Amino acid sequence: MYERAIVRPPGSTFPDGLTTIDLGRPDLAGARRQHQAYCAALEGCGLSLIRLPEDDRYPDSTFVEDTALLVGGRAILTRPGAPSRAGEVESIRETLCALFEKLDPIEEPGTVDGGDICEAGERVLIGISQRTNEEGARQLAALLAEEGLEPRSLDIRGRDEILHLKSGLSYVGRGKILAIEALAGHPALRDFELLRVPASEAYAANAILVNGRLLIPAGFLHTESTLRYAGFDVLPLEMSEFRKMDGGLSCLSLRF
């Protein structure tokens, strides 16, 4: 059960952020409306929000998930793989210092993006990607082991259809993982029951379970039907403007 979440609205430079897909330039006003609806959904799930101010220095700073992993009583500060995002970690450090007694950084030459970390009960899946390298994954695994968790790595560098691990899968509780077909056969997922997302709805693989409700991107009816049939309390949210910037539901908050 989560009690709180850290969020940051998209700033005026959001449309200038990084993206690997060509879905058009995001509409800033639309992104802000969608972010407000996202925050309202988190509050509706019982979370109190820590709202950080817009930070126009970093166009991608609304994707706060990439800056840290909050686990146990500690915050692990990541080291994003894109040089333009390096300052985002420092911009959130003071907030995390006020909330957690222990902060552990990923150190050079390691790189880690939070979007490559999927907490799945006592296991934590770590994607080795274009943004998270092997050294970063090694450092992260050592810190997770100190918390009694089992880290498992998945190399997704050959998967051009996804930027981060959680672009292609999500842990949705009850031992179940929502995953695209390209990841479904990976041995690191052997202990989980898989709910498969068709290629035409791959974006729907990024979902977040918040205090019993499963937030999913709106407009992916096959995946929504699969989840409802499996017994999930599903809440679809519009995410079109964040999708244009490689962002998903998990990216927009740090929940703890």
**Active-site amino acid positions:** 164, 251
Q: Give the up-direction half-sphere exposure of residue 162: CA atoms within 13 A in the CB hemisphere.
A: 31
Across the beta sheet with 117-120, the strand order is 117-120, 123-128, 150-155
Q: Which of 189, 186, 218 is nearest to 204 (CA)?
A: 218
**Is residue 203 classed as helix, strand or coil in its secondary structure?**
helix
Burial class (CB in 10 A: 0-12, 13-18, 19+), 126: buried
Burial class (CB in 10 A: 0-12, 13-18, 19+), 134: middle
Give the C-alpha separation, 68 to 78, whole Å.
Answer: 5
Strands in the chain per DSSP E: 4-7, 48-51, 68-71, 74-77, 102-105, 117-120, 123-128, 150-155, 169-171, 176-180, 193-197, 208-210, 213-217, 233-237, 254-255
How would you label 171-195 residue by residue, b for 16+ Cβ within 10 Å and e otherwise? bbeeebbbbbebbbebebbeebebb
